[in-house]
Amino acid sequence: MCRWMAWLGQPLLVEELLFEAQHGIVDQSLHARMGAEPTNGDGFGLGWYGTGAGPAVYRSVSPAWADANLRDLAAHIESQLFVAHVRAAIGSAVQQTNCHPFRHGRWLFVHNGFIAGFDILRRDLMLAVDPALFAEVQGSTDTEVVFHLALTFGLKEDPIRALEMTVGLVEEAAGHHGIAGAVQASFGVSDGASLWAVRYATEGRARSLFASGDVDAVRSLHPDNPRLQRLSPDDRLIVSEPFSDLPGVWREIPEATAVTVRRGGVLEERPFHPRPIASAVDRTAPSSVPDA
Amino acid sequence: MCRWMAWLGQPLLVEELLFEAQHGIVDQSLHARMGAEPTNGDGFGLGWYGTGAGPAVYRSVSPAWADANLRDLAAHIESQLFVAHVRAAIGSAVQQTNCHPFRHGRWLFVHNGFIAGFDILRRDLMLAVDPALFAEVQGSTDTEVVFHLALTFGLKEDPIRALEMTVGLVEEAAGHHGIAGAVQASFGVSDGASLWAVRYATEGRARSLFASGDVDAVRSLHPDNPRLQRLSPDDRLIVSEPFSDLPGVWREIPEATAVTVRRGGVLEERPFHPRPIASAVDRTAPSSVPDA
Amino acid sequence: MCRWMAWLGQPLLVEELLFEAQHGIVDQSLHARMGAEPTNGDGFGLGWYGTGAGPAVYRSVSPAWADANLRDLAAHIESQLFVAHVRAAIGSAVQQTNCHPFRHGRWLFVHNGFIAGFDILRRDLMLAVDPALFAEVQGSTDTEVVFHLALTFGLKEDPIRALEMTVGLVEEAAGHHGIAGAVQASFGVSDGASLWAVRYATEGRARSLFASGDVDAVRSLHPDNPRLQRLSPDDRLIVSEPFSDLPGVWREIPEATAVTVRRGGVLEERPFHPRPIASAVDRTAPSSVPDA
Amino acid sequence: MCRWMAWLGQPLLVEELLFEAQHGIVDQSLHARMGAEPTNGDGFGLGWYGTGAGPAVYRSVSPAWADANLRDLAAHIESQLFVAHVRAAIGSAVQQTNCHPFRHGRWLFVHNGFIAGFDILRRDLMLAVDPALFAEVQGSTDTEVVFHLALTFGLKEDPIRALEMTVGLVEEAAGHHGIAGAVQASFGVSDGASLWAVRYATEGRARSLFASGDVDAVRSLHPDNPRLQRLSPDDRLIVSEPFSDLPGVWREIPEATAVTVRRGGVLEERPFHPRPIASAVDRTAPSSVPDA
């Protein structure tokens, strides 16, 4: 379990949403309310688009609530599009290369959830990653492999379709190994211009995911914040857990749904259907372990 | 470039060799003299056999010279067999899972050197790892993959032979990709009873490797240290770089040579010959990336 | 708020109490149940007496639940007397020098609680520390200053009396500045032979503190653990929060009480009365700043 | 020994000077050439003025050469005035609160050098800090105390004069304790509008300090860098060790000299004379410890 948030809108100091929002993402690192795990203290990451080429990423193994640098950066970085993630490790090491967001070129990727039986599936899934991308996988999380599968399946052309193929592949591989409930996820993706988010679970209820309903919703988070009172209809927040408890502010994204947020506050919703990839994992290939 | 050392002999406080020896391994983290890179500040590791089941490992991304915990542990841990490693990262991340020694059951593994073109070879080499061991690879170094290849090739039965097969496989894979000078290495291995060390380079001069010549050699390191003056012929040190500059103390292990150190101070030497593994990497297997 | 535990008894692998006890101290780092703060993820420390001179200390800024080294050390270190602490920072930085236990010679010190208004009192309290000890204060916590005050007031001769004088001084300084509820504490102290623990609050209810009631209590924690079934009447645990919920196992230490645990399982209890220190800080003494 | 640099001029991506300059400050963290200590791997810090209120500070205990976040931040932060520091610890702990730059309101402070016998002087010097600033000292370095002394002596009104008083006080305190060679320093100070730098040693040769001589000097560092070719006479660099070896580029700041750099590239030089502070520490003032 983890928590994440994404902002697309007018330029904001990152701290406005990370630290100053009621029950914001940093507060959720210590006291999350929804889902199985209230503490997300196994590192965090912040990715943003702004000055310089491509997205910047700051990742740390410290709990977000205790990281003095994060507080400072958030107070001095302004961005129109940023993504933050707090991590609760389930099995893999607490290290920077396991912290989200993951990055490839202009792309950022975050995930709340897990691949069931990842230890068993890891080799099959790594094999399905484009060999040209293989060496780019630097950590040991399921998420980083999922991201590289999605890149393999055309994330840059159609992020939702690529994630549908990725989930299809994972479910297929899991089925082959007799693993139930393969995918549990909310995913977030960005290329610096748009945001995509997916809520999906192979079985049962998926990780929660919410979008800010409209400008009034976000404004009401901070009645006394002049900056936020200047919000326009172009601004949109996606969060795995609402920042405040105000009823009526947040719009829950349904199960098995993908949303696209574009500049101008446009939010499009569509069903998310995993696509089976019959040949993605060649199970008949001889093991490469030598006979010798 | 890294540096490592291994002790097999009477029980010693670890600090005697880590901190109190002249130009010991921690001093080498800051001021190494041999080889290309004088600073080995990208983390370190200590593995030891003693109280508790199997080897203990303490690894940190701090430079060894600055780690307060290492100094304390070294002053309070006594062992008959321990291995220490200081790291100079060349490309892969500075993270605990990339620090040596690597461990599998009772086995510890350290490496000074590199696999040339590892980014290119990584996928082929990972594919050759026993699938049952694949998910155990938690970091992103060449060394961890080499260790798991050696486990795949029977490290537990015959460590030198398994490393000969591993190096053979790496050289073969490198040749396939047109990469020259595939392996540059001194390796260290232990199961808690014996030590094995290998010095080998595909091309050119291999990383340096030395064994303590005899008891008098080690005694002369610490003329004023009563504990070391009690050394017996059962004690043996292997180091990638001599601890002191005293002439006559250290015996250089020749190129392309493997040594075995057994209890009682026994040191056996034999040639190290990579063994080609014709079928280890199935280069004709279809890529597993889906056509869809 | 923090949590701590101390063991005095037969030699135990540290992991038996840190990781294998139900609701042990590491579990409490993530899910404490008593007191204000359920998460104690701002570093931890382990101090133990065993091989080597004086106590060893391993401290880290990682949350205890996520530290791979702690798990390894706990599985390979055996001790008759050890102290563990998990920290919830309230104001001061998350850094090793702020992690408990603090050490001076053979002495270890841990604290759960706080000095109210420490920012205001810090200078006065630092001034009251023996000038010869001043430079030894390396961090910025209230606890480290309290420890050095206690050393100033004779901790080595009479730990409880020294803590009574320390608390008296702090309450006096707080009164002078109009600060209410100066001290909130459970303290733990050891010299490697005995353990001392204090439960005290200037106002209101003090931090919880418990002692294992008798051998049967500890045995019942681990009915299936052969090592613990071998416990003798010589073994004693002090904890800030019980390890399991079994009724009847733990004996709550009353408010304003100090206990002394000696080898042989002896537990002595006495009232704890802060001692006003009219002369503790000799304000007329010439400052050591030069006369120019 | 440490190394530092400061930029005042047109907005630059921080990486242009940290990573892309020949023998820049990050390279100096691994391979410094001047002074006693070639490795400055005990943490680093970056302070910059730009978006958001006051200066931002990013500090880490990682060696600068290995910190993935520093590389990312440097590539995405643009500033007209920034300061970077790489640390070689001499005695005090490797922790963020000991990393430079230190900050107070709009002010940043860096130091290369040391206070001799700081352990002995620390209490006297801390006593001389304005009590209102005392609790702000969070680490254990001599530099942080020097900074707070300078704040005590009017840094905000006249930085050079305040540093002259500070050095005077330190030399006086050292003399009182019989400590020779009290101060060894290059200091750097900024308020976000101007830069001040001091080169001074009580005895012997002071730490090196250089200013970029003129625009052509800086341009010649990067003949192929279009951004730097656009440098104007308004740009100025101060460095403790030159970035490249090109003769004629750098102007050495003489011993016992203070320089002021103002917007527009103005560089003023004046002698630096420590001022004895007979009254700096009012030893007759009543201590604030309560009367009981």
**What's the confidence (pLDDT) of residue B289?**
36
What letter does residue B240 receive in the DSSP assignment? S
Amino acid, single-letter form, for residue B73: L
Residue C31 CB coordination number (10 Å):
13
Nearest to B41 among D63, D89, D93 (CB): D63
Residue B242 CB coordination number (10 Å):
23
- The span from the CA of A181 to the CA of A193, in Å, is 33
- What are the structure tokens assigned to B292, written together? 């869809």
Report how far apart the first and last C-alpha atoms of chain C are (Å, whole number): 45
- Indicate yes or no: CB of C58 within 8 angstroms of CB of B72: yes
For residue C92, the distance in angstroms to the closest alpha carbon of chain A comes to: 10
| Phi and psi, residue C161, nearest 5° | -60, -45
- The span from the CA of A190 to the CA of D223, in Å, is 36
Tell me the pLDDT band of C34, cut-offs 50, 70 and 90: confident
**What's the confidence (pLDDT) of residue D274?**
97
- The span from the CA of D23 to the CA of B64, in Å, is 25
**What's the confidence (pLDDT) of residue D246?**
59
Which of chain C's residues have a Cβ under 8 Å away from the Cβ of B69? 58-60, 69, 96
Q: Using CA coordinates, name the residue in chain B closest to C76.
A: B52
Tell me the pLDDT band of D23, cut-offs 50, 70 and 90: confident
* Each residue's pLDDT tens digit, C139-160: 999 999 999 999 999 999 999 9
Q: Using CA coordinates, name the residue in chain B closest to C70.
A: B58
What letter does residue B129 receive in the DSSP assignment? S
- Indicate yes or no: CB of C51 within 8 angstroms of CB of B96: no
The chain D residues in contact with chain B (CB within 8 A) are 30-31, 38-39, 41-42, 61-63, 66, 68, 89, 93-94
**What's the confidence (pLDDT) of residue D180?**
96
Tell me the pLDDT band of A292, cut-offs 50, 70 and 90: very low
For residue C94, the distance in angstroms to the closest alpha carbon of chain D comes to: 9
Nearest to A66 among C38, C66, C89 (CB): C89
What letter does residue D175 receive in the DSSP assignment? H
Residue A161 CB coordination number (10 Å):
16
**Cα–Cα separations (whole angstroms), residue D292 to B10, C172, C281, C287:** 60, 6, 10, 20
- The span from the CA of D187 to the CA of D198, in Å, is 5
* Each residue's pLDDT tens digit, A9-26: 999 999 999 998 878 888
**What's the confidence (pLDDT) of residue D80?**
97
Mean pLDDT, residues D32-43 taken together: 80
**What's the confidence (pLDDT) of residue D90?**
82
**What's the confidence (pLDDT) of residue C5?**
96
Mean pLDDT, residues C20-30 taken together: 84
Element (H, E) at A59: strand A56-60
D255 by DSSP, 3-state: which?
coil
- The span from the CA of B10 to the CA of B70, in Å, is 21
Residue B268 CB coordination number (10 Å):
11
What letter does residue A158 receive in the DSSP assignment? -
- The span from the CA of B283 to the CA of B281, in Å, is 6
The whole-model pTM stands at 0.92
Residue C112 pLDDT > 60:
yes
- Indicate yes or no: CB of D50 within 8 angstroms of CB of A76: yes
Tell me the pLDDT band of B282, cut-offs 50, 70 and 90: very low
**What's the confidence (pLDDT) of residue B217?**
66
Residue D291 pLDDT > 90:
no
Q: Chain-wide mean pLDDT for chain C?
A: 89
Residue D292 pLDDT > 70:
no
* Each residue's pLDDT tens digit, D188-244: 999 999 999 999 999 999 999 999 877 776 677 677 777 667 778 888 999 998 887
Tell me the pLDDT band of C202, cut-offs 50, 70 and 90: very high
Amino acid, single-letter form, for residue A97: T
Mean pLDDT, residues A45-71 taken together: 96
* Each residue's pLDDT tens digit, C224-236: 777 667 778 888 9
Element (H, E) at A18: helix A15-18
- The span from the CA of B12 to the CA of B6, in Å, is 12
**What's the confidence (pLDDT) of residue A1?**
62
| 3-state SS string for chain A | CEEEEEEEEEEEECHHHHCCCCCCHHHHHHHCCCCCCCCCCCCEEEEEECCCCCCEEEEECCCHHHCHHHHHHHHHCEEEEEEEEEECCCCCCCCHHHCCCEEECCEEEEEEEEECCHHHHHHHHHHHCCHHHHCCCCCCCHHHHHHHHHHHCCCCCCHHHHHHHHHHHHHHHHHHCCCCCCEEEEEEEECCCCEEEEEEECCCCCCCCEEECCHHHHHHHCCCCHHHHCCCCCCEEEECCCCCCCCCCEEECCCCEEEEEECCCEEEEEECCCCCCCCCCCCCCCCCCCCC
| Phi and psi, residue B172, nearest 5° | -65, -50
Handedness of CA C180, C186, C189, C193 (dihedral sign): positive
- What are the structure tokens assigned to B249, written together? 């103390």
Q: Using CA coordinates, name the residue in chain B closest to D94.
A: B66
- Indicate yes or no: CB of A41 within 8 angstroms of CB of C63: yes
Tell me the pLDDT band of D287, cut-offs 50, 70 and 90: very low
Residue A150 CB coordination number (10 Å):
27
- Indicate yes or no: CB of C42 within 8 angstroms of CB of A66: yes
- Cα maximum dimension of chain D: 71
Residue C233 CB coordination number (10 Å):
12
- The span from the CA of D264 to the CA of D257, in Å, is 21
For the ranges D15-19, D40-44, D105-109, D241-245, the one whose mean pLDDT is highest: D105-109
Mean pLDDT, residues C246-255 taken together: 81
- What are the structure tokens assigned to D166, written together? 């500070």
Q: Chain-wide mean pLDDT for chain B?
A: 89
Neighbours of chain C (3+ CB pairs under 8 A): A, B, D
- The span from the CA of B228 to the CA of B219, in Å, is 6
Q: What are the residues facing C59 on neighbouring strands?
A: C45
Which of chain B's residues have a Cβ under 8 Å away from the Cβ of D89? 66
Share of chain C above pLDDT 90, in %: 71
Which site among C29, C65, C67, C70 would you substitute to test the A interface, given the most A Cβ atoms closer than 10 Å to its Cβ? Answer: C65
Residue C87 pLDDT > 80:
yes
* Each residue's pLDDT tens digit, D116-148: 999 999 999 999 999 999 999 999 999 999 999
Task: Work out the angle between the directed axes of helices D118-128 and D159-176 (0-180°, nearest 10).
Answer: 130
| Phi and psi, residue D151, nearest 5° | -60, -40
For residue C74, the distance in angstroms to the closest alpha carbon of chain B comes to: 9
Closest CA to A218 of A3, A9, A2: A9
Q: What are the residues facing B196 on neighbouring strands?
A: B189, B260
Tell me the pLDDT band of B291, cut-offs 50, 70 and 90: very low
Beta-sheet strands, E only, within B78-232: 78-87, 102-104, 107-115, 183-190, 195-201, 210-212
- The span from the CA of B231 to the CA of B239, in Å, is 18
Closest CA to C170 of D123, D285, D292: D292
Q: Using CA coordinates, name the residue in chain C closest to D125.
A: C289
Element (H, E) at C102: strand C102-104
- The span from the CA of D6 to the CA of D189, in Å, is 9
Tell me the pLDDT band of C284, cut-offs 50, 70 and 90: very low
Tell me the pLDDT band of A160, cut-offs 50, 70 and 90: very high
- Residues 6 or more apart from A268 whose CB is under 8 A from it? A259, A260, A262
Residue C286 pLDDT > 90:
no
Closest CA to D40 of D63, D72, D18, D12: D63
Residue D289 pLDDT > 60:
no
Q: What are the residues facing A251 on neighbouring strands?
A: A211
**What's the confidence (pLDDT) of residue D143?**
97
What letter does residue A266 receive in the DSSP assignment? E
Q: Chain-wide mean pLDDT for chain A?
A: 89
- Indicate yes or no: CB of D42 within 8 angstroms of CB of B63: yes
Tally the C-alpha atoms within 13 A of residue A175's C-alpha that lie toward its C-beta.
12
A205 by DSSP, 3-state: which?
coil
Which is higher by pLDDT, B68 or B250?
Answer: B68
Mean pLDDT, residues C31-59 taken together: 89
For residue C89, the distance in angstroms to the closest alpha carbon of chain A comes to: 8
Tally the C-alpha atoms within 13 A of residue A70's C-alpha that lie toward its C-beta.
26
**What's the confidence (pLDDT) of residue B213?**
77
| Phi and psi, residue B109, nearest 5° | -145, 130
**What's the confidence (pLDDT) of residue B227?**
62
Residue B170 pLDDT > 70:
yes
Tell me the pLDDT band of A146, cut-offs 50, 70 and 90: very high
- The span from the CA of D219 to the CA of D16, in Å, is 12
Q: Using CA coordinates, name the residue in chain B closest to A119.
A: B135
Which is higher by pLDDT, D61 or B34?
Answer: D61
Indicate the range of A199-213, B136-150, B192-206, D270-284 predicted with least confidence.
Answer: D270-284
Residue B26 CB coordination number (10 Å):
27
- Indicate yes or no: CB of A139 within 8 angstroms of CB of B140: yes
**What's the confidence (pLDDT) of residue C285?**
38
- The span from the CA of B6 to the CA of B211, in Å, is 10
**What's the confidence (pLDDT) of residue D179?**
97
The chain C residues in contact with chain B (CB within 8 A) are 13, 48, 50-53, 56-60, 68-69, 72-73, 75-78, 96
- Indicate yes or no: CB of D289 within 8 angstroms of CB of C92: no
**What's the confidence (pLDDT) of residue A74?**
97
- Indicate yes or no: CB of B280 within 8 angstroms of CB of A289: yes
Q: Using CA coordinates, name the residue in chain C closest to A88.
A: C66
- The span from the CA of B250 to the CA of B237, in Å, is 9
**Cα–Cα separations (whole angstroms), residue A65 to A31, A75, A93, C90:** 10, 14, 19, 12
Residues in chain B: 292
B12 by DSSP, 3-state: which?
strand
- Indicate yes or no: CB of C283 within 8 angstroms of CB of D289: yes
Asked if B32 and B3 touch (Cβ cutoff 8 Å), the reply is yes
**What's the confidence (pLDDT) of residue A35?**
64
* Each residue's pLDDT tens digit, A186-245: 999 999 999 999 999 999 999 999 998 777 766 776 677 776 677 788 889 999 988 876
D203 by DSSP, 3-state: which?
coil
